[in-house]
Amino acid sequence: MQTPSETGSLDGEATSTNVHVPSEVDLPRIEKAVREILAAVGEDPDREGLLETPARVARMYAELFSGLHDDPRAHLQKFFTEKYDELVLVRDISFNSMCEHHMLPFSGKAHIGYVPNGRVVGLSKLARVVEVVSKRPQVQERMTETIANLLIEELDVKGVAVVIEATHSCMTIRGVRKPGSLCVTSAMKGLFRSNHSSRSEVMNLIYGG
């Protein structure tokens, strides 16, 4: 474990400078925009405490939106041919994303269940897919649908069930201010859509029933 003195700063500066910034990301442009927002809300961007803020926020956005420059399909190209045709479920894949309506974070867990059709991927690849898809300006409904479609298209699965549970800071710190509210979305495809007992099986496994 690192102490603040080892990282050299209390706010994680040492780690954030190590973030890989994709060449497509225009850091100076973000910095200019952040300065502009600070001035527009009535702050003084030249105040000592804010001097480094635009650069810091720019690097942070590069990290939070890194999924725009990564193809989730790339993580599903390496599969194994297996006769296994029962349910595979990966539960509790944690993620952080950014609500595209407010540019505020939403975070939670994704659960992905699928029934293979000869192609099985490493379990960590599903977590990689969640990571890439979540690191973009998002809405939870589309994120859920996108992950399900990727498995249909790349793995030709017999069925896929994606359930995402998340708390949205745009609902907790502003607007209606309802802390603790959980938003649940699901996408059921293939046999999970057509077959009631398959759907109950996967939901029971996700919720530990």
Binding residues for Zn(2+): 99, 102, 170
* Euclidean distance between CA atoms 22 and 12, whole angstroms: 20
* Contact assessment for residue 183 and residue 140, using Cβ atoms and an 8 Å cutoff: yes
Q: Is 140 a catalytic residue?
A: yes
Alpha-carbon distance 86 to 117, whole Å? 9
Output 99 or 110, the one with its CB closest to Zn ion: 99
Judged by CB under 5 A, the stretch of 1-9, 27-35, 50-58, 167-175 that binds Zn ion is: 167-175
Please identify which residue in 139, 170, 203, 205 interacts with Zn ion, judged by CB under 5 A: 170
**What six digits make up the tokens of 72?**
């989730």
Specify whether 183 is catalytic: no
Q: Kindly state the tokens that stand for 154.
A: 């790349």
Distances (CA, A) of 178 to 52, 163, 165, 195: 33, 22, 16, 36
Q: Report the residue number whose CB is nearest to Zn ion.
A: 170
CB 190 within 8 A of CB 114: no
The residue among 99 and 155 lying less far from Zn ion, judged by its C-beta, is: 99
Catalytic annotation present for 77 = no
> Residues 112, 126: contact at Cβ < 8 Å?
yes
Binding region: 99, 102, 170
Which residues is 162 bridged to in the sheet?
A: 112, 187
Site string for Zn ion, 86-125 (x = CB under 5 A): -------------x-xx-----------------------
Minimum separation from the CB atom of position 37 to Zn ion (A): 17
Q: Which of 2, 52, 101, 153 is catalytic?
A: 101
Q: How far is the CB of 172 from Zn ion (least distance, A)?
A: 10
Query: Cβ closer to Zn ion: 91 or 102?
Result: 102
Contacts of 178 (CB under 8 A, 6+ apart): 171, 172
Known active-site residue 102: yes
Binding site for Zn ion (CB under 5 A): 99, 101-102, 170
Q: Which residues does the annotation mark as catalytic?
A: 99-102, 140, 168, 170
